[in-house]
Amino acid sequence: MGRAAARNWPAFSFTLVFIVFLVAVSSLDVSYKSDRNAVTRVVYIDPLHAEDPGFHGEALKIFGREGYTFDAVLGEEVTVDYLRRLPTGYDLVILRVHSTVNGDMVWLFTGEEYSQDMYVLEQLADEVHPARPSIGSERLFAVGADYVNHFMKDRFRGSTVLVMGCDGARATDLAQAFVDNGAEHYISWDGPVSLNHTDQAFNCLLTAVVEYGMSPEEAVAHAMAAVGPDPDYNSTLTCFPR
């Protein structure tokens, strides 16, 4: 009996090792899939909500499943001071904002009406700026890369930052500021874009990330293949770092 057991040991050993190998591979695969679907906490910042609230509902549908934390900051709630106090720990930071390039720098519009008597030191340091979404509209406060570097330091560890407005990737200063403060990816347009087109593109992009488990780079390519560049300005989505 002892000799028979000894003769059968190599086959048993091989089977055991093979089972251990399968379990290890299976565990690695589960871990890999989990990493690709690691978005659990989202902040949606939308000063344009009163102008067109539609995308908020679409975002709620995409993230309206168990396990997601979805915080929404809308309209006039999007102030310079709110951005200063933005909590850490978000996997996705979605900024549905007007944005523009001025002096080779990207500026993000808040929903806060401009006053020369507010944020005086920040204005003197050129960290915030008055800006108009369109000719004849009221001026709003806008923030730039220097504001992010000064007041939002290390707030974006592991985050993907999505800037849905015009020209967000036409210059690299703002993208670099977010990356320098922890963001893994920064995605925006390399030129002007209509509100309707950016809503379509980012709806497609977010669906690709959440439902299909695509990486940010893959999701950008997917969105561009699905909706194409802006039909009026030919602007495309860009993922930074490239």
What pLDDT is attached to residue 38?
Answer: 60
Predicted local distance difference test score (pLDDT) of residue 18: 34
What's residue 31's pLDDT? 28
Lookup result for tokens 């780079």: 217
Reported as a single tens digit per residue, the pLDDT across 186-230 is 999 999 999 999 999 999 999 999 999 999 999 999 999 999 999
The pLDDT of 112-125, averaged and rounded, is 98
Q: What is the pLDDT of residue 68?
A: 87
What is the predicted pLDDT for the residue at 66? 66
pLDDT exceeds 80 at position 23:
no
**pLDDT for res 39:** 73
Q: What is the per-residue pLDDT for 15?
A: 36
Average pLDDT, the chain: 87
Answer with the residue of higher pLDDT: 156 or 30. Answer: 156
- HEC letters along the chain: CHHHHHHHHHHHHHHHHHHHHHHHHHHHHHHHHHHHCCCCEEEEEECCCCCCCHHHHHHHHHHCCCCCEEEEEEHHHCCHHHHHCCCCCCCEEEECCCEEEECCEEEEEEEEECCCCCCHHHHHCCCEEEECCCCCCCCEEEECHHHHHHHCCCCCCCCEEEECCCCCCCCCHHHHHHHHCCCCEEEEECCCCCHHHHHHHHHHHHHHHHHHCCCHHHHHHHHHHHHCCCCCCCCCEEEECC
Per mean pLDDT, which range of 50-54, 98-102, 153-157 is the poorest? 50-54
pLDDT band at residue 64 using 50, 70 and 90 as cut-offs = confident
pLDDT computed for residue 4 by the predictor: 38
What pLDDT is stored for residue 8 in this prediction? Answer: 40
pTM listed for this prediction: 0.84
Answer whether residue 22 shows pLDDT above 70: no
pLDDT of residue 12: 37
